[in-house]
Amino acid sequence: MSSDLFDQDVSTDVRALLQHDEVGSAPAAPNSFARHSSGSGAPALVCALVGICLVRLVTTGHYKRYVRVGMGPILMISGFVLILAGAVTWWSSRRGPSDSHEHEHGRYHGHEHDDDGHGRIAVGWLLLVPVLTVFAIAPPGLGSFALSRALSSTSVQQGSGSFADLTGADPVGMLLKEFDERAFDRAGVSFAGVPVSVVGFVAKAPHGDGFIVARFQIACCAADGRANLAHVIGYTGTVPPVDSWVQITGSFHAGAGPQQAPLLVAATVTPIAQPSDPYEPN
Amino acid sequence: MAASAFELLAVGVGGHPALANWATVFVAVCIQAMPFLVLGVLVSGSIAAFLPPDAVANMLPKRPVFAVPVAAIAGVALPGCECGSVPIAGRLISRGAPSAAALTFLLAAPAVNPVVLVATAVAFPGHPEMVLARFVAGLVASIAVGWIWIRIGHEDWLLKARRPAHQHDNRLDAFTHTVQHDFLQAGGYLVIGAAMSATLQTIVPQRILGSVASLGWISLLALGLLAVVLAVCSEADAFIAAGLSQFSLTSRLVFMTVGPMVDVKLIALQAGTFGRSFTLRFAPVTFVVCVLAATAVGLVLL
């Protein structure tokens, strides 16, 4: 890993980006962001934009694609704190620019530049990258690609629980996690032949017939996703495209497909919209 | 025109599962860290604005050898994860705290705080000894690194963090400017770290790790390196470790000890706060100490 990556390259790129800001500024300081933190509202704006992005993610519910549902309130609070911090510093930079305050700022940042601090605050501009990614691309959440990268194909371990037998004739809705756990509990005896209904996204089976239906569970954020999955067999209709969401009714079938995924014999496969929380609770 | 460029970009990313996956993990790591980063910079802003300059130094034992373990215990009180502790440690150093103590606090806080320990207990329901092992390994590693710093550390490597704090006429100004300054600095480097983590997660299939699970000390190193690459929050790493059931408990303890102290996201954050020459030395030393400490604790407790 190049050590230069951290300071030098970033500041060079950012400086190039900010070239137009340099016009009419004092030529000495290469660190425009730092200098601007006294005279202009640029850093305050970045702060506030990150805050607005967080609040927007919570109000649209899209934050659930990236982090666990319980983080909504603290994301909201963090967003407002950042908006407030941006507003206060912006206001104080507008107020009384002619007093000795300004002079102190100049001295401080000159000093900062003296110690190897190139691009130290300029790096703050990078915060706009995730903000733009959220607004422009709106990444969809973990899907079949992540499944192919995951360490283990299922998060379920032997002995993760013991279940009472299912009863009745109507399909019982359950999380894929429970489906997997029941499959591992006494080799699936607790299904007792009762049909089930599960929700997940479609993925290709590594080999063999059928397809995979999977849904991730996350502990904190999408970087720590672990998949729960079932191998769907016996479906004669058209298989929906990879990464589309489906609700499947069917019944458990003893035995295991490739990679130990439990088998689900599908009766119906219904395309649905991606759930607002695409993950199963941990 | 900008709008259509964005649409093209969005379609392009949607059509490439690898890019979409990269973007999801990248945004997830950034978003997930924000509340902890905000908490961290609020604390660092308070230190800069409201603590008298010598307060921290006066609270700690005069001799660094004793100040280090006190700082490690103090880490128990910060209920956050590693992103928040970096700006706090940086601000402690700029306020004149002994560097060894501040660095020990930096390592200990995300590893041994109550939130992380409770998460570990929840993730390992059948192994309560894992919580104790994690606590002990985290304390031992952070204290050992602090003492090593006393022996071989150079204050020159910390010039970036030693820079005197900005003098403001009133405390509210000092507070808000420090909050904003530290947020932009740490946040920018966090973005770099998140991009590295997302790239590694997208490129490297983790399945290759499974082949070394039974290979003794190689599996210890493999999980240590996995912790560096994944860069997940210390509050979540126990759940990942629990899922790595093909590895020994000691290997998984290594994973949970290295994770809060050395990972690509932290390396970026530390380089931004303390400087490159510091991080190039600090991160490898910390990695080795973490692996050794966790292995030793694992042999005794697990």
Residue of A nearest to B267 (CA): A6
User: Considering the domain boundaries, does residue A244 fall inside one?
Assistant: yes
Residue of B nearest to A219 (CA): B236
Tell me what the mean pLDDT of segment B153-162 comes to: 78
The pLDDT value given to residue A118: 33
B4 has pLDDT over 60: no
A125 has pLDDT over 50: yes
Residue of A nearest to B126 (CA): A160
CB pairs under 8 A between A and B: 231
Taking CB atoms and an 8 Å cutoff, what residues of chain B touch A111? 163-164
Q: Which of A201, A161, A189 is nearest to A262 (CA)?
A: A189
Q: Name every residue whose Cβ is closer than 8 Å to that of residue B172 and which is 6 or more positions away in sequence.
A: A88, B49
Query: In one letter, which amino acid is A36?
Result: H
Q: Rounded to the nearest 5 degrees, what angle is found at the Cα of B164, between the Cα atoms of B162 and B166?
A: 140
* Beta-bridge partners for A198: A248
- DSSP H/E element including A115: none
| B232/A223 Cβ within 8 A | yes
Taking CB atoms and an 8 Å cutoff, what residues of chain A touch B209? 151
Residues 108-127 of A with CB under 8 A from B: 108, 111-112, 115-117, 120-127
Taking CB atoms and an 8 Å cutoff, what residues of chain A touch B205? 148-149
Q: Name every residue whose Cβ is closer than 8 Å to that of residue B222 and which is 6 or more positions away in sequence.
A: B209, B212, B213, B215, B251
The pLDDT value given to residue B163: 65
Longest CA–CA separation in chain A, Å: 81
Residues A16, A98, single domain; the answer is yes
User: Considering the domain boundaries, does residue A202 fall inside one?
Assistant: yes
Final residue of a structural domain among A137, A159, A183: A137
Interchain CB contact of B79 with A (< 8 Å)? no
Determine the distance in angstroms separating the CA of B57 from the nearest CA of chain A, rounded to an integer: 24
User: Considering the domain boundaries, does residue A179 fall inside one?
Assistant: yes
Pick from A149, A157, A201 the residue to mutate for testing the B interface (most B CBs within 10 Å): A149
Distances from the Cα of B289 to the Cα of A147, B53, B258, angstroms: 33, 32, 9
- Phi, psi of A267, rounded to the nearest 5 degrees: -100, -50
Which CATH number characterizes residue A166's domain?
2.40.50.140
User: Considering the domain boundaries, does residue A39 fall inside one?
Assistant: yes
The pLDDT value given to residue B167: 64
Q: Name every residue whose Cβ is closer than 8 Å to that of residue B284 and which is 6 or more positions away in sequence.
A: none
A97 has pLDDT over 80: no
| A139/B42 Cβ within 8 A | no
A66 has pLDDT over 90: yes
Final residue of a structural domain among A74, A104, A137: A137
Final residue of a structural domain among A137, A152, A171: A137
- Phi, psi of A170, rounded to the nearest 5 degrees: -80, 150
A98 has pLDDT over 90: no
The pLDDT value given to residue B134: 95
The pLDDT value given to residue A22: 32
- What residue ranges in A58-143 does DSSP mark as E strands? none
Answer whether A183's CB lies under 8 Å from A206's CB.
no
Rounded-to-integer distance, Cα A228 and Cα A280, Å: 9
Pick from B11, B21, B27 the residue to mutate for testing the A interface (most A CBs within 10 Å): B27
Interchain CB contact of A143 with B (< 8 Å)? yes
Interchain CB contact of A129 with B (< 8 Å)? yes
- How do residues A12-62 score in pLDDT, each as one tens digit? 433 333 333 333 333 333 444 444 444 457 889 999 999 999 999 999 999
Taking CB atoms and an 8 Å cutoff, what residues of chain B touch A49? none
The pLDDT value given to residue A258: 59
Tell me what the mean pLDDT of segment B28-38 comes to: 90
Answer whether B223's CB lies under 8 Å from B247's CB.
yes
Q: What is the mean pLDDT of chain B?
A: 85
| A157/B245 Cβ within 8 A | yes
A151 has pLDDT over 70: no
% residues pLDDT > 70 (chain B): 91
User: Considering the domain boundaries, does residue A278 fall inside one?
Assistant: no
Rounded-to-integer distance, Cα A137 and Cα B12, Å: 9
User: Considering the domain boundaries, does residue A229 fall inside one?
Assistant: yes
Interchain CB contact of B202 with A (< 8 Å)? yes
Q: What is the mean pLDDT of chain A?
A: 77
| B31/A67 Cβ within 8 A | yes
Q: HSE-up of B16 (CA within 13 Å, CB side)?
A: 12
Query: In one letter, which amino acid is A180?
Result: D
B253 has pLDDT over 50: yes
Residue of A nearest to B213 (CA): A151
Rounded-to-integer distance, Cα A129 and Cα A172, Å: 44
Tell me what the mean pLDDT of segment B109-116 comes to: 88
Task: Give residue limits of the domains in chain B.
Answer: 17-301
Q: How many whole angstroms from its chain centre is CA A32?
A: 32
Tell me what the mean pLDDT of segment A222-231 comes to: 87
Residues A171, A120, single domain; the answer is no
The pLDDT value given to residue B62: 86
- Phi, psi of B290, rounded to the nearest 5 degrees: -60, -45
Distances from the Cα of B12 to the Cα of A62, A83, B15, B75, angstroms: 20, 32, 5, 45
User: Considering the domain boundaries, does residue A166 fall inside one?
Assistant: yes
| B194/A130 Cβ within 8 A | yes
One-letter-per-residue 3-state SS of A137-159:
HCCCCCCHHHHHHCCCCCCCCCC
- How do residues A232-278 score in pLDDT, each as one tens digit? 999 988 889 999 999 999 999 987 665 678 899 999 999 999 999 99
User: Considering the domain boundaries, does residue A277 fall inside one?
Assistant: no
Interchain CB contact of B63 with A (< 8 Å)? no
A68 has pLDDT over 80: yes
User: What's the full length of chain B, in residues?
Assistant: 302
One-letter-per-residue 3-state SS of B100-137:
HHHHHHHHHHHHHCHHHHHHHHHHCCCCCHHHHHHHHH
Tell me what the mean pLDDT of segment B6-11 comes to: 52
Domain span including residue A18: 3-137
Three-state secondary-structure class, residue A120:
coil
Rounded-to-integer distance, Cα A267 and Cα A264, Å: 9
Residues 174-233 of A with CB under 8 A from B: 218-224, 226
* Beta-bridge partners for A229: A214
A126 has pLDDT over 90: yes
Residues A188, A262, single domain; the answer is yes
Please count the structural domains in chain A.
Answer: 2
Interchain CB contact of B262 with A (< 8 Å)? no
A3 has pLDDT over 90: no
Residues 181-200 of B with CB under 8 A from A: 181, 183-185, 187-189, 191-192, 194-195, 197-198
Query: In one letter, which amino acid is B54?
Result: D
Residue B213 pLDDT level (bands cut at 50, 70, 90)? confident
